Chains A and B, each alone.
Chain A
Amino acid sequence: MIYLKLFLTFLKVGLFAFGGGYAAVPLIRETMTAQNWFEDEQLMELIAVSESTPGPIMVNLATYIGAKHGGVLGAAVATAAVILPAFIIILLIVKVMKNALKNEGVKAAVDGIKPAIVGIILATGISMAAGNIFAFIPEDAAVFDLKAFVLTAVFALIYFGSRKVVKNGISPIVLILLSGAAGVVLYGI
């Protein structure tokens, strides 16, 4: 049943995504591949939309995927599921387990999850960049896309390099707008 599947998927995402919106991306991506819900390409479009619309990125992703697969009810189920763990855990921490986060054992476990999150987000970014640059055709050699390779290098240079010029650098939305304009010129005409 689609609603149950959406609920369980996003409950898992809400329970394991430490460290902000992008921590949800590897977890969402994995379910999508397993369920054949989406391709990487669509997920990247969704991330762009979530980043350029207001609200928490993780919630935006849940709402969109829920809506696509279960309509308005699906959107509500996925959104509720992604926020439920955070909601319950905060209430537990302030009401019942005031010292849970001060417990050295809990701290040690959380401190172990964070570097693992870094690793899985990094791997996701690398896979997606590789997927852009090489078109993987099954049973065939990967086809190298020079345009995508140059754009990846240029965007990384602009995005990371801008921090040396302006405080905090350019925002993700500015990068998305720039890349959209470049895309129209290079791919859309």
Chain B
Amino acid sequence: MKQLLELFVSFAKIGLFTFGGGYAMLPLIERTCVEQKKWLTNEDMLNVTVIAESTPGPVAINCATFVGNKQKGFLGALFATLGMVTPSFIIILLISFFLESFLEIKWVAGAFQGIKIAVAVLIVDAAIRIFKKIEKNALTLTITAVSCLMLLAVDFLSVRFSSVVILLTAAAVSFFVYLAKRKGKGGKENDLS
């Protein structure tokens, strides 16, 4: 129980003191879990980063679940994850009660008019950041361009389909290209996994 509470509190601290989401949290997770608590080795930390990047969902949640599970199994994962979300849950809940009336104040509305413009810049930057990390070849560049154009078509030409369709199609295309390539090599690589 003491260990579960320790997991909860440690991750609550990480959740409370990091702004800007998952990737901003990684250094603090590393300091807490590797250096201070010795819950993870450096190699574990590298592994969890790779896993978090190739699985969906908030990166911070991926990390908390991984660390908690390693320490205390399912309950550990649960406590670490709850610890991670509790502070922001409470803060956002409080904000949600008064944000709209706050926005009715003239200068606040003006501020958000400016912030809106910056947010569009931040979103473009988020795309660039992920783009820098992926492998660039004919296939990935085509997928990037086609999915961007398709979603723009949804926005500007009022075509209706879900971006989940784009994501699943991209996954399928990439998978079949991989299969075709493997076949092209004459099945030399035996993938037993």
Contacts and interface: CB of A to CB of B under 8 A. Distances in A.
B108 interface: yes
The 6 tightest CB contacts between A and B, nearest first, are A188-B110, A183-B114, A112-B174, A55-B88, A86-B57, A119-B147
A128 B170 CA distance: 24
Nearest to B112: A45
B115 interface: yes
A116 B131 CA distance: 10
Interface string B9-50: 000000111111111010000000000000000000000001
A162 B5 CA distance: 41
A75 interface: yes
B88 A184 contact: no
A76 to B, nearest CB: 8
Given A125-B121, A171-B20, 20 more contacts: A16-B167, A17-B57, A22-B126, A23-B130, A45-B103, A53-B88, A55-B84, A55-B92, A56-B15, A59-B88, A67-B92, A67-B93, A75-B92, A114-B134, A124-B151, A172-B20, A180-B114, A183-B114, A188-B110, A188-B111
Given A27-B164, A119-B144, A183-B111, A56 B69 contact: no
Given A27-B164, A103-B193, A82 B112 contact: no
A179 to B, nearest CB: 3
In which size bucket is the chain A interface? Answer: 35 or more
Interface string A83-123: 10111011101110001011111011111111111111111
B120 interface: yes
16 contacts: A45-B103, A47-B119, A52-B19, A58-B58, A79-B89, A85-B57, A86-B57, A90-B51, A115-B140, A116-B167, A118-B147, A119-B127, A124-B123, A148-B117, A156-B124, A186-B113
A107 B54 CA distance: 8
A144 interface: no
In which size bucket is the chain B interface? Answer: 35 or more
B159 interface: no
A5 interface: no
Contacts of A185: 110
Contact of A63 (B69, B89, B127): B89
Given A118-B127, A129-B120, A187 B109 contact: yes
A25 B167 CA distance: 14
Given A119-B166, A180-B111, A180-B112, A53 B21 contact: no
A44 interface: yes
B23 A45 contact: no
B117 A132 contact: yes
Interface in A138-189: 148, 151-152, 155-156, 159-160, 171-173, 175-176, 178-189
Given A53-B19, A121-B127, A123-B147, A90 B121 contact: no
B130 A117 contact: yes
B107 A120 contact: no
B69 A94 contact: yes
A155 to B, nearest CB: 5
Given A27-B164, A67-B96, A129 B56 contact: no
B115 A63 contact: no
B140 A56 contact: no
Interface in A7-39: 12, 14-23, 25-27, 30
A30 B163 contact: yes
B53 A19 contact: yes
Contact of A116 (B97, B124, B166): B166
A126 B60 CA distance: 27
